[in-house]
Structure 1
Amino acid sequence: MNRIMVLGAGYAGLAAAVSLAGRTTRRDDVQITVVNAEERFTERLRLHQAASGQRLADLRIPELLDGTRVEFVRGWVTGVDPAARSVRIDDERVLEYDRLVYALGSVADTAAVPGVDDHAYTLNSAHDAQLLARRLASLGSGTVAVCGSGLTGVEAAAEIAEQHPALDVVLIGRQEPGSTLGPKAKAYLHGALARLGVRVVGGVEIVKVLSESVELAGGDSVAADVVLWTSGVRVPPLAAAAGFEVDERGRIVTDAALRSVSHPEVYAIGDAAAIRQGYGVMHGTCQSGMPTGVHAAVSIVREFSGKQPKRFRFGYLHAPISLGRHDAVIQFTRPDDSPKKLHLTGRRAVWYKETVSSSPWPSFVRLKKFPSAGSFAWRRGGRFTR
C-alpha cells in the first residue's frame, strides 16, 4: 500500500489532496490521508471581510472529500519523524506515511516586534477574524491601526473603513501602500484609500505595540483602540525541529520538483516551502500555492508509475486587491511579479476579483471531477500562471 499523507488543508494542501484523489481513483494500492486542525476550510483571501463583520460561506473539507476515498483526520500536528516516516497529532495518535506532502502554511509574525502577541489581533484564522469583528462591533468610535502596508494590510484597512465608517482607520508600514504596483494602479489605490478615509502613515518602523498605541522608531507613536497586525509571516518550527533542511525563515528547502532536498520522500508546498525559480524564491500566495499542490500530486503519481517528477516552473499573472466590496484594483504582472502596464480598476476589477480569483472552492470541486484538466491552473509556455 502506498500511503500518502497531506499535512494542512489550506489552498496548497487541499489542491494536492483533491488532485491526488482524482488521479488515483483506479488504483487500489493508494491510501490518502489529510490532516488539518479544523473541518472548516479557511478562506484566507476573505478573512479581511470576516474581520469587518461579514459572514463567510461555511465550507467543509470532509464534504469536499466525500466520495474520494480520502481519509480526513482532524488534529494539530505536533511532530514529524522523517526517519520513522510518521506524524504525531495532538491526541497522541501516530500516523505513518510513505510519501508526505507538507503544507502547514504560515501565520502572522507576531514575535518580530514586542507587544504584538499581547495587544494585536491577527488574520491567521477564521476564529481570529471573528474575534476582531466582535471587538470592532463594540466600538462606537475610535481608532483602528492596521500594521503592515502590504496587500493584506491594504485590503483589511479598506474593508474595515467601509464597513465601519465611524472608526478612524490608520494604515502603518515601512513602505507606501501598493509599492509593488505600476504607477497608475498605485495612484488609484491611494485615491481609493483616501475616499474611504484611511489615513496612511508610511515610511516608518514599528518598534513596539502597547495596549493603546503603536510606537514608532524615533519616538513618535500612533494612538489606537485596536491594533491589527499584518506585517510579515513566519512558518511553524515543526520542519526545523524534525530535521528537514530549512532556510533562514524555517521553510523547507526543495529541489526543482518540490521535494525536500534532505528527505526526497517529502514534498513541501505553499508557504511552508522555499521554492526557487529563475527570478528568486517564490513568495507565498494562493496564486502560487495551489499550483504547487497540483504539481506535487502529479509528481507523486509519476513516481508510482516509475517515472521521474518534472521540474516545477511558475510565473505570476496578477495582483488582485479588493478595496472594500465596491472597488478593487488588479495589477497584471510579468512572471517574476513585476508590474505590467495593464491594470483594471473599479467595477471591472471587482468583477475580475470575485469571478477569477476570490475563491478556489469551485476549482477544487472541478478538480475533484476532472483532475487532468488542471482546472484552476492553466499553462503557458510550461508555466503555471494562476
Structure 2
Amino acid sequence: MIADKDRGYSWYKAITKANAGEVHVIGSRNVKTMLLELLKDSDVEIYEYHRDIPLEVEKREFKINTVKKGDALICFSRKRVLETASRLQNNGRAASMIYGSMPPETRKKQIQRFIEGETTVIVATDAIGMGLNLPIRRIVFLENEKFDGTRRRLLTSQEVKQIAGRAGRKGLYNTGRVAFTADINRMKQLLLQEDEALQTFAITPTSEMLDRFQKYSRDLGTFFDLWMKFESPKGTKKAPLTEERELYEMIRDTEMEARLSLKDLYSFLQLPFSSREPSLTRQWEETIMAIITGDEMPEPKLKLRNLEELELTYKAIGLHLLFLYRLNRPTEAVYWERVREEISDKVHERLKTDVKNMSRKCKRCGKKLAWDHRFPICEACFETQSRRNYSRY
C-alpha cells in the first residue's frame, strides 16, 4: 500500500509520523529494504514469518454449483459481490459479504456471521486481503481482472498472493486451496512469481512547502502546477493529487478560495471522502461555505429507503464528522457517531433481507444473466444492437 500512487503517502505518514512509542509494520519481503531505509534512524526489530501450511491450486475451473462450506468467492466490485451473494442465497446458501465501501461495523457483523456458522460462504472484493484472518477453506477468484480507477487490468502477482494467502487455517483446513474460473496456468504463474523489490513510495506536499509558497502567492492552482514540475527525491514518487485538483477546480475563483487561508483550503481538499459522489461534493462545498460565513453547518440528510441510500447516508455522516472534529465540536460529534452506528445496523439488516433481489440482470431488457456472463447485456440484446449498428452502413 505504501507504493500506491494515490494513497501511499497516507501509509508513509502513518509509519513515520505516528504519535506512538511502538509501531508495528506488516508487509511482504519485497518491501523490507525500502522500509529499513525509510526507518534508518529508528530502533527497528524485524520478525520474519513463513506460511505454516501449503497452498494448492485446483486443476479444474471453478463452477458456481461446486461452491462449498468455507469458500471465499472473490470479485472486484460492490455490484458483483451483491449479485453473486444474491445468486447463492436464491440457491439456498447464505453468504456473508465484504467490500471496501461497506461500513466497518457492518463488515465486522458480516464476518461474525461467517465465523459463527450463520453463513457458510463469503463473497468479497480484495478488501478480504487487508488484515482479516478468517477460517477460509478455499479462495475462488471469480475474476482475474480488476478496474484500478483508470483501466481494467490483469491482477498483479502481489494482489493474487495477498488474496490467495487467506486460504487455509492450521488445525482446521491444513491445506489452503485456490481456484480460478479461467486461465488457471497463467494465474498460477502469478501466484508463484518472485516479487520484485519495491523501490519507491509516494509523497505529497509538506506543510513546510505550503508555508514557503504562501509567502509569494495564494494561488493554489499555481502551487499544483509547481508540484507537477517538482523533481521528487530518489526513492520516492509524487502523488498525482488528482482528487485534490478536481475539488479545487470546483471552488477556484470563488468566495471560498478568497476567504480561506492556503493551509485551510488545502486541508479541506485533503479530507478523505468519496468525492466521486455528487451529493457528497455538494455537501462538502455547502459545509465549507457555512464555515466561512459563520452559518450553521448543513446536517446530513438521512435517506433510508434502500441499501444504496443507507450506504450513502453513512458516508455523508462520515464527512460531517470530519468537519465537526476539525472544528473541535465533540458534543455534536458524539451524537452523529451514534446516528452513524444506527445507519450501520440498518445496512447490515438490509444485506440480510434485500440481497436476494439483487441478481445479475441485462442492462437493456432486465433478463437474468448467468453468474459468469462476461457482458452487461444478454445475447439477444447484443444481437439486436449489432443488427442496428450494421444497418447504419
Q: Could you tell me the TM-score, scaled by structure 1's length?
A: 0.27
Q: Please tell me whether Structure 1 or Structure 2 has the larger radius of gyration of its CA atoms.
A: 2
As a proportion of its length, which structure holds more helix? 2
* TM-score (structure 2 length as normaliser): 0.27
Q: Give the structure with the larger strand fraction.
A: 1
